[in-house]
Amino acid sequence: MTFNDIFKSSFLENVTSITLFDMALALVLAFAVGVFIFFIYKKTYAGVMYSSSFGVTLVALTMITTLVILAVTSNVVLSLGMVGALSIVRFRTAIKEPLDIAFLFWSIAAGIVLAAGLIPLAVIGSVIIGIVILVFANKKDMSNPYIAVISCEDKAAEDAALKILKDNSKKCIIKSKTATKGSIELNYEIRLKNDDTDFINKISDVKGVKSAVIVSYNGDYMG
């Protein structure tokens, strides 16, 4: 076969380049692996608002990648065209959670491996990755930071609230303090000793405290 023969390919010859059984098997396996990835994503999601559309995207992305790689591996001309076409595609959807990037790459990688015919690698590898993500994503860590937002009237209320915070946390660091006439707003980064957050109720009952709120955050403080 010469170099020119490689690029001589008619439309009808491409129709039979991949059998129907191969296509069906690859897409069914891609769907099954995509559903497994979706299940892991749903179980480990820790963001503020769960997006079901992103989970469906993981399933679709696995199948689409498999479809593309099947086409690329069957025709050299098509593979060159795919490279050119995909190189001009730009995606503008923002990734809100860092772990979402791992799920997207996992879906793409699984689709590529399945289309390459490495079925045991795709299936066993996906199971191992899923177990690892389940173990580490669901692991509770009491050292996770929280932000306590306290609004009070005077210095006495501030001192009383701070004492309760220090008694119920391993670490208490002030992040910001805003003082206006008759009002003081405090932001503290704290590390809880346990899961008990009843101390916030005690702070809110302190004389001179207007409100007390505790929220979890990812450690990236902006102020």
Instruction: Name the residue among 132, 26, 128, 125 with its Cα closest to residue 71.
Output: 26
Q: Which domain holds residue 31?
A: 3-137
Residues 83 and 132 both lie in one domain: yes
Residues 153 and 127 both lie in one domain: no
Residues 100 and 62 both lie in one domain: yes
Half-sphere exposure of 182 (CA within 13 A, CB side): 0
Residue 35 lies in a domain: yes
Residue 220's pLDDT is 44
H or E element, residue 170: strand 169-180
Higher pLDDT, 196 or 152: 152
Residues 21 and 129 both lie in one domain: yes
Residue 87 lies in a domain: yes
Number of domains in the chain: 2
Q: Which of 114, 137, 160 marks a domain boundary?
A: 137
Residues 11 and 89 both lie in one domain: yes
Tens digit of pLDDT for each residue in 16-59? Answer: 566 778 788 888 999 999 999 999 988 887 665 667 788 888 89
Burial of 58 (0-12, 13-18, 19+ CB in 10 A): buried
Residues 74 and 177 both lie in one domain: no
Residue 64 lies in a domain: yes
